[in-house]
A and B are shown apart, each in its own frame.
Chain A
Amino acid sequence: MSSPVIELAGVSKRFNLSSSREDTFAGAIVSKCSSFFSRNKEADKYQWALKDIDLAVNEGEILGIIGKNGSGKSTLLRILSEIITPTSGDVRVRGTVSSLLDVGAGFHPDLTGRENVYLNGALMGMSKREVSLRFDEIVDFSGISKYIDSPVKHYSSGMFLRLGFSVASHLISNIILIDEVLSVGDAEFQYASLQKIRELTSSGKTVIIVSHGMNSILSLCTNALLLESGKLVANDTPFNIVSKYLSGTHEKIDEKLKNEESREFIFPSDPKDGISGIILHKATILCKTITTKESFFTDNEISVELSLTLAKPLGDMEVMIQVNRNHESPMIATATGLFGLYPKVSLNQKGSFKVRCSFPKYFFNKGLYSISVCLTSSVGFHLENKDVLRFFVNFPVGQLSDFWYKDAPFDVGPIASWEMDRL
């Protein structure tokens, strides 16, 4: 393994939460004096955006950074690109850094795209020749060659992103930092930029990317970090980090519901939740072959089991399960009443029921799934619970060719019946 291109040792950053009064010199003097007399706690005035970060990033790595808003992700990127200086600690960066921290940053609205490319190059310390050599490539990749000679004030934010990403990824720098901007681009460009990032790392560049899109972290990164209120919680494989991050939100829900088993969701029999006397007590994921609570493999058979109570008959009820993948729009839905495949017990009388829905092997692709439950009858919706369950599915190591699953752009990858004949 080559030596790390980025090394952080005990890096902390403290921001001064100065009141607006302290934005003026006179105000600052007044507040200095008053704090001298009143002995205000110094700690109240500061906030640690980052605290004791130790990190080493190797050449060719794609490092993903995950964390909630305000957890210090952008501060970390800005420290790496030397825009802000850490309050304490040691930053060592080997090589040059180019960054894409904000859509259209450093673009002057009155200049043309062409002029802005050169300006961007200059902002990275490149000579005119160095930019010229790559200019055509940059414009080609951005796909906006038609507009390259019009002022960028007429550009859409997507076009800004295309050009900005193009410049950042084509100029000579061995470290590229990208802050949650790629989501502005359309699907086509997002795909192209993910491909480009992979290409860059295979040519020895190092990429650090901040994203809220778990999908891109999972499919792109070789490593990931989890930041939580300025602290580095974990540095692990993307899958483990994404799991940890999202189970963090799980734990919060569980705490609220005072559930003993983290994977089960008991909804309180609060009339607000149990509309028209229907209570969903529990939602569980069952898997015969694996004991983990929230992550599974594509070759596991996974069932969703719901326990519910009907306080009064409401006619023929149907249970519907909706599956969402990677926080995106619903992927599939399935219901008890579909195609006349009624279960043996009808939900047309009061009592407690257990409803189970099983998915075959290889039904789920790699990703994060969430399940919503919906109870309907001829009268309409009776109960709708979003994100009752969340779980991850990953590929069994070494069993399936990673190749076409790698981007995991498709929601399901079921086993179909294949036949092959030699002619």
Chain B
Amino acid sequence: MLASAYVAKLVLFKRLTFKLAHRDLKVQYSQSMIGISWALIQPLTGLVLYTFLFDTVINTMGGNTVPYPLFVYSGVMHWMLFSAIVGRAGTALSANINILKNWSFPRIILPVSKTLVCLVEFAISLPILFGILWFYDFPLRWQMILSPLFVAMNILCALSIALWLSALTVRYRDFYHIIPYLVGFGIFVTPVFFPSTLIPEKYAFLTFFNPMSCAIEGFRWCLHGGTFDFIRYAPSILITLFLSISGLVFFKRQELNIVDFI
């Protein structure tokens, strides 16, 4: 199919994207007692637990000037967004076999709508961040305007991994196991609980290849300053671009044959 025809089809089905996201949110929260506030409980628990563990028990930050709750929350928020997108958008196809087998629509709508659901939950966790900023009396900085850029980088990176995974899991079931692996171990090779400055010099270059490091450290830089070197993070930006273009191309190629395998 021509690219323009594909885009036209996407436009025709744009409502489906929102409708499916709406459906997921509704189904997820309508039958729970406290509804959407579940989306608050998880980051809050993370905030309290990680602060206790990595600040009170193990004094990770030492003499850093940034209060640890603020530091860890911006990291946790990002990691939760990343893992939610990879986990849900990455299984979006195999979780919707019934719809795939009976309806024809651009398949990319499924992972994208799952991403929207994750974004809504991300938005719900934002007020906690503002609360922390307010609590510690942080001044507004012009760099804060740039923070959405780093969220976008997170989304782009997670969604492109999800595109790869969702197309692959339909064909080969074992790719499903990559998801908990990626999400579970990834958090420790990404500066979520600690700043990348704590990494010994000879390993430090590795962080610059990690798109999530870039997203989190950049986001923190927007909020409370510190060191952030755009140039050194160039590899991770290139990796993200490569992942997203290849993910899109791969998904698009697999799209036509997805139903054959389910």
Chain A interface (Cβ < 8 Å from any Cβ of B): 15-16, 23-26, 28, 78, 81-85, 97, 99, 101-102, 105-106, 108, 110-111, 115, 118-119, 122-128
Contacts and interface: CB of A to CB of B under 8 A. Distances in A.
A105 B19 contact: no
A-B interface, 8 closest residue pairs, ranked by CB to CB distance from nearest: A105-B102, A25-B172, A122-B19, A82-B104, A85-B256, A24-B174, A122-B16, A123-B103
B98 interface: yes
Given A24-B172, A125-B12, A105 B101 contact: yes
A88 B75 CA distance: 50
Contact of B15 (A25, A81, A83, A127): A127
Nearest to A20: B173
Q: Which of B19, B168, B175 gathers most chain A CB within 10 Å?
A: B19
B30 interface: yes
Contacts of A83: 100-104, 259
A102 B101 contact: yes
A24 B173 CA distance: 5
Contact of A105 (B16, B98, B172, B174): B98
A126 B103 CA distance: 13
16 contacts: A23-B173, A24-B174, A25-B174, A78-B101, A81-B103, A84-B259, A84-B260, A105-B98, A105-B102, A105-B103, A110-B27, A118-B19, A119-B19, A123-B99, A123-B103, A126-B15
Nearest to A120: B103
Interface of B: 12-13, 15-16, 19-20, 23, 26-27, 30-31, 98-105, 168, 172-175, 256-257, 259-261
Contacts of A127: 15
Contacts of B104: 81-83, 97
Secondary structure at the B interface, as helix, strand, loop or mixed, is helix
Given A15-B260, A85-B256, A110-B30, A124 B173 contact: no
Nearest to A102: B102
A124 B260 contact: no
Contacts of B12: 125
Contacts of B172: 23-25, 28
A84 B174 CA distance: 24
A323 B19 CA distance: 53
Contacts of A82: 104
Nearest to B30: A110
Contacts of B98: 102, 105-106
A110 B26 CA distance: 9
Q: Which of A16, A81, A83, A99 gathers most chain B CB within 10 Å?
A: A83
A111 B26 CA distance: 8
A124 B15 CA distance: 10
Given A82-B104, A83-B101, A125-B16, 9 more contacts: A23-B172, A24-B172, A83-B104, A84-B259, A85-B257, A97-B104, A99-B102, A123-B99, A126-B15
Contacts of B256: 85
Nearest to B103: A123
Contacts of A85: 256-257
Contact of A106 (B102, B175, B261): B102
Contacts of A78: 101, 259
B15 A26 contact: no
Contacts of B101: 78, 83, 101-102, 105
Contact of B13 (A28, A119, A125): A125
Nearest to B175: A25
Nearest to B31: A110
Q: Which of A28, A81, A115, A122 gathers most chain B CB within 10 Å?
A: A122
Contacts of B31: 110
B95 to A, nearest CB: 12
A125 B109 CA distance: 12
A85 B261 CA distance: 12
A15 B15 CA distance: 32
A108 B173 contact: no
A125 B102 CA distance: 14
A90 B248 CA distance: 25
Contacts of A118: 19
Nearest to B256: A85
B259 A125 contact: no
Contacts of A105: 98-99, 101-103
Contact of A124 (B27, B100, B103, B168): B103
A125 B172 CA distance: 30
A196 B242 CA distance: 52
A120 B59 CA distance: 54
